[in-house]
Chain A
Amino acid sequence: MSNIIEIKKLRKVYGDGVELVALDDVDLTIKEGEVLSIVGPSGSGKSTLLNMIGMLDTPTDGEIVLKGQNITNASPQERARLRNKELGFIFQYHHLLPEFDAVENVMMPLLIAGMDKKEARDRAITLLEEVGLGDRLKNRPTQLSGGQNQRVAVARALAGHPSIVIGDEPTGNLDSKSSDMIYELLRKLNRQMNQTFILVTHDMEMAEKTDRILRLVDGKIVCEMRREGEKFVSREICRAD
């Protein structure tokens, strides 16, 4: 498997006067098709790292290479294009557009990419059927449950065949039953399409189902565990914190 993301000495510092180091020399390599979870206490830099990978934020220092392309200093235009083409986002709250129904919400990234409306609609319907919402196509976010909305959000994130799907607490707002359902859905899609999933989560149960767990504390990766069969193996000694 080739590397889809290579992160070298990534630093993010916020603030002009009082500096807050959100990410501190992070090195990370992610392989294509990997399902990776990032855990850690609040304020540890998980979301910042995710925003860097998602090209929503720019690093203070260091390098990010996506599919061999150095995107650290890409222009806003280029970042927008890459977000549309290579990335799918699932947020803690579904963040669907309230004025649009399920199909239209799933179509949106495709329309942004310039796809023909008819084609985009067909693709959206297929995806919604896949996430089990074939009978809810015309419903708006207010007419759907939290779990259903999150499934629409999953379909939307996958619409443009992104190579990486980013989830920031994708099940954080759901009960455990809906949570499991979303996770199983992501896993199934991962197997079908060999997409890379990067999930930030507080839910250790979910993290333990992924291929690799990174633990972030104070902007540093303090622990990395990789699945080998049914068990997780730490590559280095995980620092107690």
Chain B
Amino acid sequence: MFEMTIAERHIIGNPKMVLFTVLSVALAVGVIVVLIGLTEGYRVNLIENTVENSPHVTVDPKEDEDYIYLYRTLSAIAQEEPEVLAVSPRLVGRAAAKYKDNGEGVTFIGAEPVQEDLLLRVREDMVWGDYYDLRFKRFAAVVGSDLADDLELKRGDDFRLTRQDVTVQVKAVGIIDTGTSLDQTLVYLPLDTAQDLLGEGHVVTEVGIRLSDIDAAPAVAADLNNRTGYKAESWQEKSRDILDQLDTQQIYSIIFYLLIFIISGFGIANTMIMIISRRTKEIGILMAMGADQISIMKIFVLESVILGPPSALLGGGLAYVAAKLIGTIEVPAEIYIADRMTVILDLETFLVVAFFALLVNFLAGIYPAYKASRLDPVEAIATE
């Protein structure tokens, strides 16, 4: 196929134009792969974060009640569900913490430490102290790291928690750092102490459940709903807003990626038009030698398409390097959901983007090639 021979020779003979065309598409591929990787990384982090720091299924009080009274029975029923790893009745409420002259609003979670640890792996996040101490010390608390800083609370200090007219004095026996904004307000208490603070007797506000398969959560929640009449919600439902938002964002992202490709397509088309205008005479000569319109078109479409694979590969390389660099940047966990941004690169994403890059090269080559094939040979040869 002589068209291929000519296209190859044109490319070898024009390293500058090759460089710029390849770079334009490679940058597009690189940027898109990294952005997709970042979005995917964010998604995965967000889900992991949600799944690790909140129960997979939460059972809330019945509609006309404020608390769950029969939480022991409820817990026993929940234990019977498939995939259940842990069930922890929890009393979650708001209170004011006071230490010396410092005061802060806090969210307290009263729970049985062994169950709660199975539910949320609390002990993994401990900076110091042992969460299990709450099993044997009734007036003890584990405090979020930022809250401890704000209160200037040190290990072993006693501080007061006040809710309405009830005040309890507890000793800080541990500091926890979950890596989320919760660290600014969290106080873990033994369940009995939390119930004292609430003053409503033996009640909890929710029962948290951890599952071995997070995807089973909606089914387990629905089943519990049916069996108990309590309001059970899966983590997917609880985080629906944010998951929906991610989906919406994905649509915007796709439009954005298409725009990037369109821009790089125009770049290629522009280069191709320039090349063709420089080679007008040559096109005329080829026509005089008997090259037909289809052949002329083939030559220039090929020229554009040949540059696709190296552009995609270079783009993939750029994306890889960029992903590694981005992975080293530390970001505040309060702003992002983890202390490092994660870029998830997978082969499938790269292949899809590479396919689009080839398509862009092909489409961008068509119009200039078509124009070239329609040149009038007499005029083309006469071109200076």
Contact = CB atoms under 8 A, between A and B. Distances in A.
Contacts of A56: 287-288, 377-378, 381
Given A51-B378, A89-B288, A97-B285, A112 B295 contact: yes
Given A80-B287, A80-B292, A113-B290, A91 B381 contact: yes
From A91, A98, A99, residue with most partner B Cβ within 10 Å: A99
Given A51-B378, A95-B381, A108-B2, A80 B12 contact: no
B282 interface: yes
| Cβ-closest 10 pairs across A and B | A84-B290, A80-B292, A111-B2, A99-B9, A99-B13, A83-B290, A56-B377, A109-B289, A89-B288, A95-B285
A22 B13 CA distance: 39
Contacts of B377: 56-57
Residue among A54, A89, A113, A156 having the largest count of chain B Cβ atoms under 10 Å: A89
13 contacts: A51-B378, A54-B288, A80-B290, A82-B290, A83-B288, A89-B288, A97-B9, A97-B285, A98-B13, A99-B12, A108-B2, A108-B286, A112-B290
Interface string A137-170: 0000000000000000000100010000000000
Interface string A69-111: 0000000110011111101010100010111100000001101
Nearest to A156: B289
A160 B288 CA distance: 13
A83 B12 contact: no
B378 A84 contact: no
Instruction: Say whether chain B's binding surface is mostly helix, strand, loop, or mixed.
Output: helix
Contacts of A98: 13, 282
B5 interface: yes
B360 to A, nearest CB: 26
Q: Which of A54, A84, A160: most chain B CB closer than 10 A?
A: A84
Nearest to A100: B9
Bin the interface of chain B by size. 20 to 34
B133 to A, nearest CB: 81
A109 B378 contact: no
Contacts of A91: 285, 381
Given A97-B285, A112-B291, 16 more contacts: A54-B288, A56-B381, A76-B293, A77-B292, A81-B290, A84-B290, A87-B288, A87-B290, A95-B285, A98-B13, A98-B282, A108-B2, A112-B289, A112-B290, A113-B290, A160-B290
B281 interface: yes
Contacts of B378: 51, 56-57
Contacts of A95: 281-282, 285, 381
A40 B5 CA distance: 40
Contacts of A76: 292-293
Contacts of A83: 287-290
B276 to A, nearest CB: 15
A88 to B, nearest CB: 9
Contacts of A87: 288, 290
Interface string B332-371: 0000000000000000000000000000000000000000
B13 A108 contact: no
Nearest to A159: B289
Interface in A37-84: 51, 54, 56-57, 76-77, 80-84
A181 B240 CA distance: 87
Given A56-B377, A95-B381, A97-B282, A89 B293 contact: no
A162 B6 CA distance: 23
The interface centre, meaning the residue of A80, A89, A95, A113 with most chain B CB atoms within 10 A of its CB, is: A80
Contact of A80 (B10, B13, B291): B291
B5 A111 contact: yes
A70 B6 CA distance: 33
A131 to B, nearest CB: 17
Nearest to A78: B292
A138 B6 CA distance: 17
B122 to A, nearest CB: 71
Interface string B367-384: 000000000111001000
Contacts of A111: 2, 5
Contacts of A51: 378
Contacts of B294: 77
A179 B332 CA distance: 81
Contacts of A81: 290, 292
A235 to B, nearest CB: 30
Contacts of B290: 80-85, 87, 109, 112-113, 160
Nearest to B296: A80
Given A56-B377, A91-B381, A111-B2, A99 B289 contact: no
Interface string A110-138: 01110000000000000000000000000
Nearest to A50: B378
Interface string B1-45: 010011001101100000000000000000000000000000000
